[in-house]
A and B are shown apart, each in its own frame.
Chain A
């Protein structure tokens, strides 16, 4: 396996499948990434081993077949033999197939046992799949944030040129320290998602109501990109994963900063907000969290995603409006944002929708301030 040089291998692939060589220069363009972790490297070796065994079986079987097709052509006057069975030959290839399979099963089992380890990690991160973003919750440090697609809609719609990391970039990546055992606790909020980072060889379904585990230990700092791999609805292709692995010191500094930011966020709830400030902040929140379904124009994609422009709820009594955001809508795609957004963000996004498009003129003009959300929470808890 190792004796075949990279160049030869590439040439063989290219020749066999009529692929122009210059288009694919890196093995990772046409083969499984080797990855950076011990497990991912072992899985890569296993993959190559099984593949080459298959290739050699293919060479033998197809060799005999094409030999027969050429040698025993009727057009060259071949006369058919009469035999139609050979007991020992049947026994031979059944046993041979079994032996090869046992040979494959042994290394596979070894790697599997190693990859499968659900003991505690140095750092435990709860990953929750949402339609259509990921939430990362650092259990020890009480840090929690969402990771959204950062590629703009204009790039997707071909209005702007596509960037280098088109559809593989997020606003806030997961950050982990290198050389630490990280355990992922993976679940889903709505439908089943699947969290996959090829370089770690970690792929685990995020099933609502259940927690799956996976783990990794990354030896090398770097940015590792992945994707959702279980069909989860409309924006399945638009919820990428980015993990930034950093040195321990950098990680510690990041933790301190995140905790400080969270504190500052809490203080904002106390602040007295003007309408203009709320609208400005609300627009940002809207673009990040609402635009996928309700669209930038507020028109939604009826009948699945209703329009907010002129909606009875958005132009009517603000309490009903708050309730929808806090509780979601049963049996529809609208989720509860109570645990996803801060009080300030919920208040500002509601104000934004009530003051945008045609709603400013048709609505009751009432704005929603963070205190309304706090009150709502207190009342519900009572």
Chain B
């Protein structure tokens, strides 16, 4: 039907521009989504190579490959790139593609702003990565950049770092404004808030979190800038400031940031689990309330990252209790996913495999998170590899698997081509095996006493570190397979049907569109009953 219309009426059809300008000047939500996703993919390999350097150095005790000053730059940039350059842009890319398609809109509400928020990112990361090639070296103070290591004692390139963080923040804020405006104003008639797909819900909440905390991060780095160049003493005790103030402000941004990096994944796996269990999500409204409570609670738990800085007893206890509270809505979400699978009709395509791994391994990260909330025990866990294991469990088999699951799930819809299911499964099993081989032993080595951010370590940690490094190399190289699978699907994949999966018409408006969908997703608003 649509092909006939196109050949007869070229005026009504707004295709993309040709060549490079298509990508530079695009205001189309799909093109921008694609840009975000490829950018994130590129950053995954850059940040991943840094992880490979770290693991190669830690393969055995002693300094073999890099010196501590470069090692510290690697840990810092690995963290910054993975957080701000991989997970966040990938989610924004998915939002760009899916939010208009899931709410029945033609495009995002603010298309030019959309273009700007993407193109700010390559600038920000260009600046950040260029510092690695400067004489003074790149940022080396950890991705949490605690003052005064990041102010008085920082390399000169810290100013570039500050500028780069400002640009990333601007990009995120603009992107969030766009997403909120789109969701609140462009939903199809009949799609009330409580009928919105969970991915849209998760992004609505995430976007509010971003708008709330990105300015706080901007404030933090601005205070650093003032301390470094304009003689203020926000974080310098000698001038009447307080280094711990930095941590309070940073984590007031940082903890909501943690949920910014996981909430959209909650949305994605909810869709995948209902599709492949062929059963509607269990407890839709409690899923929405759980995400909302997680978001609200995220503002009152920040100091659980700082249990050892010297807080009053009442403070320690308050932050312990508030953190433990988060386990309730998180638990409810996990129970709901399991209840969705219960009495379903389950099949195990690649997206479902990643979603199941997400539910199990994210939960393991949740358990270690609960252990870390227990203040007295945290005295032993804090700043060891136990913490590294914890946040990698929620970020890699959590957020990253959520993203990969989403890519497998929607790629046939985006491109109109199916990916290679055999290779997809191979990619899953290799990733699943190696991600556990990498991150599970970190729990042990952390409990046994190995601190994080160490380029060299005592002999009793050697065996586990060797295992971890082997796992990391397998995981790293396995992701090249994902690149191959995506390219193969785009170039030579079998044609996918409009529904892609079985009976997906029930699971969202995006499946009512053609595969690939028209350039302006919904030119006529669909009616939601």
Contacts and interface: CB of A to CB of B under 8 A. Distances in A.
Interface of A: 13, 17-19, 23-24, 28-33, 39, 42-43, 46-47, 50-51, 54, 57-58, 61-62, 64-65, 68-69, 72-75, 78-86, 89-90, 93-94, 97-98, 101, 104-105, 108-109, 111-113, 115-116, 131, 155-158, 162, 164-168, 190-192, 194, 196, 198, 201-205, 207-210, 212-213, 227-238, 301, 303-304, 331, 333
A303 B146 contact: no
A156 B155 contact: no
B256 to A, nearest CB: 21
Nearest to A153: B63
B348 to A, nearest CB: 8
Interface stretch (B41-49, B379-387, B411-419, B480-488): B379-387
Contacts of A90: 283, 286, 332
A42 to B, nearest CB: 8
A48 to B, nearest CB: 10
Nearest to B386: A32
Nearest to B449: A198
Given A207-B309, A234-B72, A47 B377 contact: yes
5 A-B pairs with the lowest CB-CB distances in the bound complex, closest first:
A209-B237, A212-B310, A30-B444, A54-B367, A237-B454
Which secondary structure dominates where chain A touches chain B? mixed
A210 B310 contact: yes
Contacts of B444: 13, 17, 19, 24, 29-31
Nearest to A163: B459
Interface of B: 61-64, 68-69, 72, 135-137, 140-142, 146, 148-149, 152-153, 155, 236-238, 242-244, 277-286, 308-310, 313, 316-317, 320-321, 324-325, 327-328, 331-332, 334-335, 338-339, 341-347, 356, 359-360, 363-364, 367, 370-371, 374-377, 379-380, 382-384, 436-437, 440-441, 444-445, 447-449, 451-460, 463-464, 467
A331 B316 contact: no
Given A33-B449, A131-B153, 6 more contacts: A30-B444, A85-B284, A101-B325, A108-B375, A190-B153, A229-B382
Given A43-B380, A58-B367, A191-B148, A97 B331 contact: yes
A18 B464 CA distance: 11
Contacts of B375: 108, 112
B244 to A, nearest CB: 6
Contacts of A18: 437
B395 to A, nearest CB: 19
Given A112-B376, A194-B383, A208-B148, A74 B347 contact: yes
Nearest to B337: A65
Given A43-B379, A81-B279, A108 B69 contact: no
A80 B279 contact: yes
A69 B334 contact: no
A167 B283 contact: no
B280 to A, nearest CB: 4
Contact of A237 (B236, B347, B374, B455): B455
Contacts of B367: 54, 57-58
A72 B346 contact: yes
Given A65-B359, A210-B244, A204 B440 contact: no
29 contacts: A17-B444, A24-B444, A30-B448, A30-B464, A42-B376, A46-B377, A47-B374, A58-B364, A73-B347, A74-B278, A78-B345, A80-B345, A81-B344, A90-B283, A94-B328, A104-B324, A104-B374, A111-B376, A157-B62, A168-B458, A191-B149, A203-B380, A210-B242, A227-B449, A228-B451, A229-B451, A234-B72, A304-B69, A333-B153
Given A115-B379, A162-B62, A47 B371 contact: yes
A155 B324 CA distance: 44
Given A43-B379, A68-B341, A84-B282, A204 B308 contact: yes
Given A68-B343, A205-B310, A304-B155, A97 B447 contact: no
A73 B455 contact: no
A198 B377 CA distance: 11
Which of B279, B437, B452, B458: most chain A CB closer than 10 A? B458
Given A58-B367, A167-B457, A238-B456, A109 B380 contact: no
Contact of A84 (B280, B313, B374, B379): B280
Given A64-B338, A212-B310, A331-B152, A46 B344 contact: no
Contacts of A50: 370-371, 374, 377
A203 B460 CA distance: 21
Contacts of A234: 68-69, 72
Contacts of A233: 72, 140-141, 149, 153
A51 B152 CA distance: 41
Nearest to A89: B339
A97 B69 CA distance: 45
Contact of B341 (A69, A79, A156): A69
A191 B313 contact: no
A19 B374 contact: no
Given A115-B379, A194-B383, A29 B347 contact: no
A94 B383 CA distance: 31
B72 A231 contact: yes
Contacts of A73: 345-347
A19 B141 CA distance: 33
Contact of A227 (B244, B325, B451): B451
B458 A167 contact: yes
B332 A74 contact: no
